[in-house]
Copies of this chain bind each other. A is one copy, B any other.
């Protein structure tokens, strides 16, 4: 397998990108093409030992920055690290692309360079998130701020194939994120989507899931529009961050708490590591006719490594092929 890695995407590029990519090469044996300014990538590569036959550089002189309009930037900057990485997949020279570029740029790359799977209306971002009782997947995490009810059915089907093929899950539960447990609750979108999901015999739809229960991890696939999914994801991040910092502060305000804090530190650290989104690597852009993994903008080497691992998993388990076969059966 060959993965195209956007060497200049994310806050810590190219250092952390290259570091994580090499870790993935050494641990998982993947082949990679890193796109970006040759001399910069070479300088980073010089720091590590690895099988030289597995790593290539594709020189790319431009970078797409976060404040650029994604579609325009992607069209104009033909020599950008992100565009070059997507081109490799389109040309069949790579099997997957990993980038920590902006959501907009990755979405544009997925839709305009690689293209949607035939028959799919909307591509969506999906990530595995650690919950209390297991991992769950929220689709869409922000690729589509506004969607039509039917799109949520597509998301559910993509999620099902992901859980079945990549994770080996049997009949994963599908829930509709909604502000009320009852069928008639919600906004116009969720009310209509509920009926469509209920009528779909290809998925194991269990009804509405309130945001309060999302992080329980009892329902594997949670579908929603991208605005809601992004809100869920960012609330989770923000609340965990603030809560941990406030708890720390509360403990440090008394001597007793300080001593206790030192004692519980290893447990908390282990806990935080287990619930770190970096473990999962990134979000997959599902619905495009290629494997696209979006790493978090603030990714470090470990997050990049895991993003490559995720790409490899999707490839090894034949996610795309199985999904397309399923689609053919459904029609």
**Residue A247 CB within 8 A of the other chain:** yes
A211 proximity list for chain B (CB < 8 A)? 230-235, 238
A241 closest partner in B (C-beta): B212
Q: A242 touches which one: B188, B216, B226, B256 (CB < 8 A)? A: B216
Of A8-16, A87-95, A112-120, A267-275, the one with at least 4 CB within 8 A of chain B: A267-275
- Within 8 Å by CB of A256, from B145, B257, B263, lies B263
Interface string of A253-264 (1 = CB under 8 A from B): 110110111111
A247 vs B263: C-alpha distance when bound (angstroms)? 13
Give the one of A67, A216, A240, A263 with max B CB within 10 A.
Answer: A263
A178 to B, closest residue via Cβ? B227
User: Given B213, B246, B257, which contacts A264 in the complex, CB threshold below 8 Å?
Assistant: B257
What separation, in Å, do the CA atoms of A132 and B230 have in the docked complex? 21
A142 on the B face (CB < 8 A): yes
User: Are A228 and B227 in contact (CB-based, < 8 A)?
Assistant: yes
- Kindly list chain B residues whose C-beta atoms are within 8 Å of the C-beta of A212: 234-235, 237-238, 241
Asked if A239 is at the interface of the complex by the 8 Å CB criterion, the answer is yes
Copies, count: 2
A210 near B: Cβ within 8 Å? yes
Task: Evaluate contact between B234 and A236: CB separation under 8 angstroms.
Answer: no
Q: Mark A213-232, 1 if CB is under 8 A from B, else 0.
A: 11110000000011110111
Q: Closest B-chain residue to A130, C-beta based? A: B246
Task: Check B254 against A238 for contact (C-beta < 8 Å).
Answer: no
List which A125-139 residues lie within 8 A (CB) of chain B: 131-132
Please tell me if the beta carbons of A231 and B232 are within 8 angstroms of each other in the complex: yes
Q: Does A187 contact B (CB under 8 A)?
A: yes
Alpha-carbon distance between A250 and B253 when the two chains are bound, in angstroms: 22
The distance in angstroms between the C-alpha atoms of A212 and B230, with both chains bound, is: 10
Are A238 and B216 in touch, CB under 8 angstroms? yes
A55 contacts partner chain B, Cβ-Cβ < 8 Å: no
Q: Could you tell me if B236 and A250 are in contact, using CB atoms closer than 8 angstroms?
A: no
A184 CB to nearest B CB, Å: 9
8 closest Cβ pairs, A-B complex: A260-B263, A260-B264, A145-B187, A212-B238, A211-B234, A250-B271, A257-B267, A179-B230
